Amino acid sequence: MSETTQDPVGLTSRFLLDPYVDWAKGENIPIHQDFGLDLLALETKRWDRYDAKGCFAHTHGRGDFMANYVIEVEPGRKTAPIKHLYEAFFYVLSGHGSTIVWLPNGETRTFEWGPKALFAVPLNCKYQIFNGSGQESARLSCTNDAPLTINLYHNLDFVFANEAQFPERTGMSKHFDGDGDHTAYKRGEKVATLNVWETNFVHDLTSFKLYELDARGKGSLNVSFILADGTMHAHSSEIPTGRYKKAHRHAAGTHVHAVDGTGYSLLWYDGDEKFVEIPWRHGIMYTPPFWMFHQHFNTCDIPARYLACSLGSRRYPFISYRRVSGEGGGSTSVKEGGRQIEYEDQDPRIHRKWLEAIRETGVASKMNDFFDEPAILALPDSELTGVIRNPQLVGPAV
């Protein structure tokens, strides 16, 4: 039996390690962390790995598996060719350019993008990003599962210099052209049909066709994406003018990007005294922490769209929470074992706050089919204080 000795340099040198965080610090670019971040305003610095500028955009709710970084390609420049064993979705924040992808069979695919495009590079394929403008920088948000991958293997050569190929995940040529395959699947008798679009590239999230999904709020539209046959999930949703979504909750790591419109999101735990408020406009990204209720509000005169990226796709749920969402648990009332707060059960402060907000923007409410709005506006302030009480909660369905 070996003799026990004390670690002369401290426990943190051998225990409780986080290889992903160590890697991020070692990249020598800014690491920003907050509840939500304006990705268009974040400071970036030279990032040798990409031969471009960049920063990490970490949120308090990113969880154990997901993270985000920003790549900024200066006018007339390009990144270094790069590949990695983690999955990544790229959302174009600003600028115009193109991406070239080297496929396992030796062929290449090139596609051009502009603001609010979305694309994924197939797993471990080498790629390079070009700025098509000689005057303006291009800035891209990269949501990824690098924490999962780097912490699992804790070997950077394995992650960034791995020769493994995954030809089954490259998709068809049309998937790099913005074309794809639409599938609708029924999740059960009590929940709505989900519409899924499989591709590698979406030209413009502001004009992409969405489908009715009233279960998350009357008039709401939605489509889920399967990108590069990945285990990461993405969906885009639209909130009509004069309406807002129902509150719900889920696992950590869902990175929400505001795409179109203006408004705000509220976040809270049962029993909180105050809501956390995040503004809603293009460039803002936030991540609801694990099991924290959150709700999205449109306050402007056009529909508001957003993009959400998380772990666990419709094809490969990966974690039990994502499987339950795919089966309809995300749009089922908490009183029935789901994760959603119905309008009739929500805190009265929520609707009153929104009515006051749209009064400032001149938008008319279309929510009076669910609420007695004159009565809510007439409530005395004394009845709108205290802790936030949610309806009787049933234990989480996992």
Tell me which of 92-101, 110-119, 171-180, 189-198 is least confident.
Answer: 189-198
The sign one gets for the Cα dihedral 299, 305, 306, 312 is positive
CATH of the domain at 214: 2.60.120.10
pLDDT at 330: 72
Residue 378 lies in a domain: no
% of the chain beyond a pLDDT of 90: 78
pLDDT surpasses 70 at 281: yes
The sign one gets for the Cα dihedral 73, 234, 61, 147 is negative
Q: How many residues would you count in the chain?
A: 398
pLDDT at 398: 41
pLDDT at 217: 87
Q: How confident is the model at residue 1 (pLDDT cuts 50, 70, 90)?
A: very low
Tell me which of 103-112, 231-240, 384-393 is least confident.
Answer: 384-393
Tell me which of 15-24, 38-47, 284-293, 329-338 is least confident.
Answer: 329-338
What is the H or E stretch that residue 239 is in? strand 232-239
Write the pLDDT tens digit of every residue in 204-258.
Answer: 999 999 999 888 888 999 999 999 999 999 999 999 999 999 999 999 999 999 9
Write the pLDDT tens digit of every residue in 49-79.
Answer: 999 999 999 999 999 999 999 999 999 999 9
Residue 34 bridge partners (DSSP): 59
Residue 60 lies in a domain: yes
Residue 64 lies in a domain: yes
The torsion angles phi and psi of 149, rounded to 5 degrees, stand at -70, -50
Q: Tell me how far apart the alpha carbons of residues 334 and 24 are, in angstroms, rounded to a whole number.
A: 38
pLDDT surpasses 60 at 166: yes
pLDDT at 134: 93
Residue 335 lies in a domain: no
Residue 3 lies in a domain: no
Torsion of CA 28, 30, 35, 37, to 10 degrees: -140
Query: Taking residues 317-326, what's their average pLDDT?
Result: 80
Query: Taking residues 337-349, what's their average pLDDT?
Result: 91
Residue 390 lies in a domain: no
Q: Output 112 or 393, whichever has higher pLDDT.
A: 112
Report the first-to-last Cα separation within the chain, whole angstroms.
Answer: 43
Contact between residue 141 and residue 90 where contact means Cβ atoms under 8 Å apart = yes
What is the H or E stretch that residue 373 is in? helix 373-378
Tell me which of 6-10, 306-310, 329-333 is least confident.
Answer: 6-10
Question: Residue 355: helix, strand or coil by DSSP?
Answer: helix
C-alpha angle 60-66-67 in degrees, rounded to nearest 5? 65
Tell me which of 139-143, 292-296, 305-309, 370-374 is least confident.
Answer: 370-374
Residue 311 bridge partners (DSSP): 232
Residue 170 lies in a domain: yes
Number of domains present in the structure of the chain: 1
**Residue 60: count of CB within 10 angstroms of its CB:** 16
Torsion of CA 37, 123, 50, 178, to 10 degrees: -70
Query: Taking residues 102-129, what's their average pLDDT?
Result: 97
Query: Taking residues 373-395, what's their average pLDDT?
Result: 78
**Which pair of structure tokens corresponds to residue 269?**
């735990």
pLDDT at 137: 97
CA-wise closest residue to 250 among 186, 331, 344? 331
pLDDT surpasses 60 at 202: yes
Residue 386 lies in a domain: no
Q: How far is CA 143 from CA 81, 87, 88, 249, 277, in A?
A: 19, 8, 6, 20, 22
Contact between residue 307 and residue 118 where contact means Cβ atoms under 8 Å apart = yes
Query: Taking residues 329-335, what's their average pLDDT?
Result: 81
pLDDT surpasses 60 at 163: yes
Highest mean pLDDT among 154-163, 187-196, 312-321: 154-163
Q: How confident is the model at residue 11 (pLDDT cuts 50, 70, 90)?
A: low
Q: How confident is the model at residue 10 (pLDDT cuts 50, 70, 90)?
A: low
Q: How confident is the model at residue 188 (pLDDT cuts 50, 70, 90)?
A: low
pLDDT surpasses 50 at 397: no
Domain range for 274 is: 13-322
Contact between residue 129 and residue 140 where contact means Cβ atoms under 8 Å apart = yes
